[in-house]
Amino acid sequence: MENPLDIHEDKALLWLMAIACGICAGANYYSQPLIHSIQLYFQASESSVALTVTFAQISYAIGLLLIVPMGDILNKTKFIPLLMFCASIGLFICAFSVNLPMLWIGTIITGLFSVAAQILIPFATMAVKHERTGEVVGLLMSGLLVGILLSTSLAGLLSNLFHWKLIYIVSGILMLIVAVVLSARLPFIASSKMSYLSIFRSMCVLLVEERRLVYRSLIGAFAFATMSILFSTIAILMTTSFQLPDVMVGFIALAGVFGALSTKKIGQIADRGYSKVITWAGILILSCAWIFLYMGASYLWSYIFGFAMMNLGLATIHSSNQNIIFRLRPDAKSRINSIYMTSYFIGGACGSALGIYAWHHGGWNMACVVGICLVMGTALFAYLDMRHQNRVLSHPATS
């Protein structure tokens, strides 16, 4: 059923939704620049504290798989604020944690329910006119990506000025405020009559019938995995090689803002039929990024430049992937988004774990080798996707 209200005309609501996406997504990244401070606070090992990053991504992936599909069958006007309320509880548990396991529990709860952003974005496409979809999704995605980058900077700044726990308190309060305002502002859109189990059955059908969805999900997973090596090692490398405080570690992440803001423009180029070219351009950028990152252990400027290139390459691949998968089944965008983003964050969790493992078994050099191997995996599935698409175009009747 088409919603009679076009939220594109409500600029305040659109910005509120973009802020909500940023707060939800950023909630999973506060621990990245704080690993050293958390380690000192709890007197725990470096590797065990670094697992906080991995737990955040694993729980987010589980939420994408099990919670996001519910957006198709529940009242999203109430469901989205409810998820944000639950995520705020997780943030407060982190803020008042007395030991590392308690911090892990809070991190897992936050990760599970901060997937509200991944319900909010498809919801926006249902509440605007068709010709405005790309513009609105671009705005919300920019809010989401900038929120992730700003979260690490703010976490480092507040840790340096006050205490590492303060970012969790501030974020929890903001999450509650935005959830309350959203509950009063979001328009009602009728939900599907499908059952919860039938949604998962239809997702299995999508995986079987849509080969490009599988390939593009794996491309995204490997690309995010190579980026996630930086997420799990940035604080360790910066504090050991350059003796940087948390605040400086957080500010380094701002180098990726350009990539985040480029998402809308990249999507517009992909709309013109250049998705394949954009994908390979993104893979090339990721490969070049690791050259600068390898030198980054000795030269801080090289690491920052490589980090910026990594974000641009990932944004390029991600935009190309979304441009392709959302055209596969226009009537199943939420389920497609759940499949793709679940794979995406499982890749991120694996990348974080591999980054920690590589660091402790070969230092930064080994982490770079693993990163390049993951880029090669991205290229492999991009090649398989390209070959499959060429086969479909050559023999449409038999594909």
**pLDDT single digits (tens) 238-255:** 888 888 876 777 677 777
Lowest average pLDDT, out of 73-87, 360-374, 385-399, goes to 385-399
Lowest average pLDDT, out of 159-168, 174-183, 281-290, 303-312, goes to 159-168
Residue 1's pLDDT band, with cuts at 50, 70 and 90, is very low
CATH C-level class of 7-398: mainly alpha
The helix or strand, by DSSP H or E, that contains position 311, with its residue range, turns out to be helix 300-325
Q: Is a pLDDT exceeding 70 seen at residue 128?
A: no
For the chain, the average pLDDT equals 85
Q: How does pLDDT run across 65-108, given as a tens digit for each residue?
A: 889 888 878 888 899 999 999 999 999 999 999 999 999 999 99
Cβ burial, residue 98 (10 Å; 0-12/13-18/19+): exposed
Mean pLDDT of 374-391: 95
More confident residue, 345 or 271: 345
Q: Which residues contact 191 (CB under 8 A, 6 or more apart)?
A: 72, 73, 74, 75, 76
Residue 328's pLDDT band, with cuts at 50, 70 and 90, is confident
**Tokens at residue 24, please?**
């939800």
The answer to whether 175 and 286 have CB atoms below 8 angstroms apart is no
Q: Is a pLDDT exceeding 50 seen at residue 25?
A: yes
Mean pLDDT of 198-216: 92
Mean pLDDT of 341-353: 87
Mean pLDDT of 290-316: 92
Mean pLDDT of 328-335: 77
Mean pLDDT of 9-33: 84
Domain boundaries defined on the chain: 7-398
Q: In 3-state terms, what secondary structure has residue 261?
A: helix
